[in-house]
Amino acid sequence: MPSAFALPSGPVASRHCLVTGGAGFIGSHLVDVLLGQGCRVTVVDDCSTGREANLSQHPHLRFLRSDLAQALLGPLASERFDEVYHLAAAVGVALVVADPIRCIHTNVHQTQVLLDFVSKSRTPTLLASSSEVYGKGSKSPFAETDDVVYGSTDKPRWSYAASKAIDEYLGLAYCEQRGVPITIARFFNTVGPRQRGDYGMVVPRFVKAALHGGTIEVYGDGEQSRCFCDARDTARALPQMLRTPACIGRVFNVGSDQSVTMNELAELVVHTLAQGATAGARPAQVKHTPYEAVYGPSFEDLRVRKPDLTRIREAIGFAPRYTLETTILDIAAELRAGDA
């Protein structure tokens, strides 16, 4: 990429950051990181899947509960930011399968409006993408330059992947053609406190079932594997990426490369929570449910999804700190507090 891109050079503590989707799961952890660094933060979130309760009361935090495009074309139209983190999106396979129109519209239209907004002052911007962009390629681990392979367009499951791929194309084009310093983060499975299980997110769903001594429902045969990264590790990496000149105009896998099958995850959740359980508590049961019963007959899933992290390690020295056991315990503590 050309070296002409200008990143802010003043102290981080004086910066004004916009976080779209900042009341969401990953976004709210990012807001914590930025506030902790002394930044002023504006969050725009329509709370369609996020929650205002995810945000702390902080004198440097401003929250706008709004559709992103409406905010950027309305109240924020004449504002300028030092850094922009775009995480607002329609997220989660279950949500996407249930409402593909909303998914495509949200993910493509909102990003287009955001890119027009940041291009006015060439604001350094980080776009949240997804490992779903790789589609159903059978290679493992996935590297950023690998080909992508999608199912046919009559399978709505792939609309999320395609919409995130369009976001990436748009971001790279605004960088190349309009000189906007844009970095793209392809998140692999991200887990942690504040994630909601009701959008098909597997870890909070398993923890919730195990806490109540219920049934952990594993989809398919449970031998499909994923790598889970704690959102607090992810959030810490994002400002580093945005502020590193070598990251501009490039795509980065962000996640963990420690694989676990869904059967192993179910066991780990049961085992981890059994250690702190009260005597006589009923242990959770594990049951397998066919994919078709959950997502309908046309659903296709990947057996393995694992990132090649070479690029992000070389760029910012990324190394996750949270173990999956710690994350499970923190999610359980949050769920218990919610029940109390």
Ligand X SMILES: NC(=O)c1ccc[n+]([C@@H]2O[C@H](COP(=O)([O-])OP(=O)(O)OC[C@H]3O[C@@H](n4cnc5c(N)ncnc54)[C@H](O)[C@@H]3O)[C@@H](O)[C@H]2O)c1
Q: Is 330 in the site for ligand X (CB under 6 A)?
A: no
CB of 305 to ligand X, least distance (A): 10
Q: Is 113 in the site for ligand X (CB under 6 A)?
A: no
Q: Active site residue: 160, 199, 295, 322, which one?
A: 160
Among 91, 133, 162, 273, binds ligand X (CB under 6 A): 91
Chain positions 167 to 206 lying near ligand X, rule: CB under 6 A, are: 187, 189-190
Q: Looking at beta carbons, which residue is closest to ligand X?
A: 50
Among 17, 24, 117, 335, binds ligand X (CB under 6 A): 24
Q: Is 25 in the site for ligand X (CB under 6 A)?
A: yes
Interatomic CA distance for residues 244 and 7, integer angstroms: 8
Nearer to ligand X, 87 or 241 (CB): 87
Interatomic CA distance for residues 4 and 55, integer angstroms: 36
Three-state SS at 19: strand
Strands 225-227 and 83-86, sheet pairing: unpaired
φ, ψ for residue 3, nearest 5 deg: -85, 5
Helix (H) or strand (E) holding 31: helix 25-36
Partners of residue 225 on adjacent β-strands? 261, 304
Q: With contacts defined by CB under 6 A, name the span among 42-50, 145-153, 219-227, 241-249 that binds ligand X.
A: 42-50
Chain positions 50 to 79 lying near ligand X, rule: CB under 6 A, are: 50, 67-68
Interatomic CA distance for residues 89 and 111, integer angstroms: 9
User: 216 with 209: CB under 8 angstroms?
Assistant: yes
Nearer to ligand X, 110 or 225 (CB): 110
Interatomic CA distance for residues 304 and 226, integer angstroms: 6
Q: Is 46 in the site for ligand X (CB under 6 A)?
A: yes
Catalytic: 85?
no
For ligand X, what does the binding mask look like between residues 237 and 266, x meaning CB under 6 A? ------------------------------
Interatomic CA distance for residues 318 and 185, integer angstroms: 13
Nearer to ligand X, 108 or 277 (CB): 108
Among 7, 37, 48, 329, binds ligand X (CB under 6 A): 48
Interatomic CA distance for residues 194 and 309, integer angstroms: 25
Say which residue the tokens 């994923």 belong to: 226
Sort 169 into a burial class: Cβ within 10 Å, 0-12 / 13-18 / 19+.
exposed
Helix (H) or strand (E) holding 4: none
Nearer to ligand X, 89 or 97 (CB): 89
Percent of the chain that is helix, strand, coil (3-state, to 5): 45, 20, 40
CB of 313 to ligand X, least distance (A): 19
CB of 131 to ligand X, least distance (A): 6
Q: Is 130 in the site for ligand X (CB under 6 A)?
A: yes
Query: Which residues here bind ligand X, judged by CB under 6 A?
Result: 21, 23-27, 44-50, 67-68, 87-91, 106, 110, 128, 130, 187, 189-190
Which residue numbers are catalytic?
A: 160
